Amino acid sequence: MKKILALFLVFFTGIIFAENTIIALVNNEPISLHSLDDEFISVKTNEKKIEIINTQIGYILQLQKVEELNLIPSEQNINKVLLDIAKSNNITIDELTNFDDIDLIKTKISEKLSILNLQRYITQDVTYPKDKIQSECFNNKLIKDLKQIKVAQIIISEIDSELKDTKQQNILIKGFLNKLSTHISKGASFESFAKLHSQHPSYKDGGVSDWLTVNNPTLKMLDSLNTNEVSEIYSTIYGLAIAIKIDERFISSKLKECEEKIIYQNAEIFYADWLKNQREQAFIEIYYDKFK
């Protein structure tokens, strides 16, 4: 987006203001010849001119919907983009705001941000294509170079005691976790203890975690555990913990990129269908005799 917006300073100075000839109507909003870019005037074929007009019709339909849904960007968001443009062009924000076409630049920024807001709004409830993600992202084409594990944890953040000192509290918590670890090592159910004693929301599932990427010393320690082996006590942001390793898998480090690509493509198709439907419902008239 930064690169596109940075080009405004280059292109806006070359705008040709043609005669104010109306060549199309979109819900009674006119498209005049001077509102199109230079390409429309220079192209030779009607097919290409129709393609340019259709693009402008789609643009106007989106902006009309932005108005209807009140998705116009704030002045603060527009100013953020202006700062990006200034930095990209190695000029100060004051130099940019003194540019002759600054009002036109602001208008175009507002329109582009408006359409981004509309795209997010329309696609916000689009469901993930789980089957496609499963078939394309979890296959042998992607090198599985990333290890993940699942663990079950018992996490204790506080213990009933009159002691208020954090260090003293931690000593008591470690003593309690050591007792639990001893019982589990002798055959007691980790799941039952987790449901009974863990103070983390995962206690409901027996302390089972999501898939965790093995990328730090604690997770490497947990990954090294044998079946049913209880870990040493370790710190988490929620408190002190013990755990057992319950599963492992290898995935591709490109998995997230693959998933995001498919999700984006799915949203893009949904939005294109939505925009096509908007066009079918709109009043549109193109004056083909004005092309010449």
For 249, phi then psi, to 5°, come to: -155, 160
DSSP line for 128-181: P-HHHHHHHHSSTTS---EEEEEEEEEEES--S-S---HHHHHHHHHHHHHHHH
With a cut of 80, say whether residue 70 has pLDDT above it: yes
Cα–Cα distance list, 73 to 23, 68, 115 (Å): 29, 13, 9
pLDDT at residue 16 greater than cutoff 50: no
- The residue with greater pLDDT, 9 or 53, is 53
% residues pLDDT > 70 (the chain): 91
The pLDDT score that the predictor gives to residue 276 is 95
Q: With 90 as the cut, is the pLDDT of residue 123 above it?
A: yes
Confidence label for 238 from pLDDT (cuts 50, 70 and 90): very high
Is residue 291 predicted with pLDDT exceeding 80?
no
Residues 3/81, Cβ–Cβ less than 8 Å: no
Q: Is the pLDDT of residue 13 over 60?
A: no
- pLDDT at position 140: 66
pLDDT average, residue stretch 104-132? 92
Characterize the bridge pairing of strands 239-251 and 146-156. antiparallel
User: Does residue 71 carry a pLDDT above 90?
Assistant: yes
Average pLDDT over residues 246-271: 90
Question: Tell me, what's the pLDDT at 2?
Answer: 41
pLDDT value, residue 292: 64
Is pLDDT at 1 greater than 50 in this prediction?
no
Model confidence band, residue 46 (pLDDT cutoffs 50, 70, 90): confident
- At 207 the pLDDT is 96
Residue 255 class from Cβ within 10 Å (0-12 exposed, 13-18 middle, 19+ buried)?
middle
Q: In 3-state terms, the chain is what percent helix, strand and coil (to 5)?
A: 55, 15, 30
Residue 41 pLDDT greater than 60, yes or no: yes
Model confidence over 279-289: pLDDT tens digits? 999 999 998 88
Domains of the chain: 2-127+266-290 (1.10.4030.10), 146-251 (3.10.50.40)
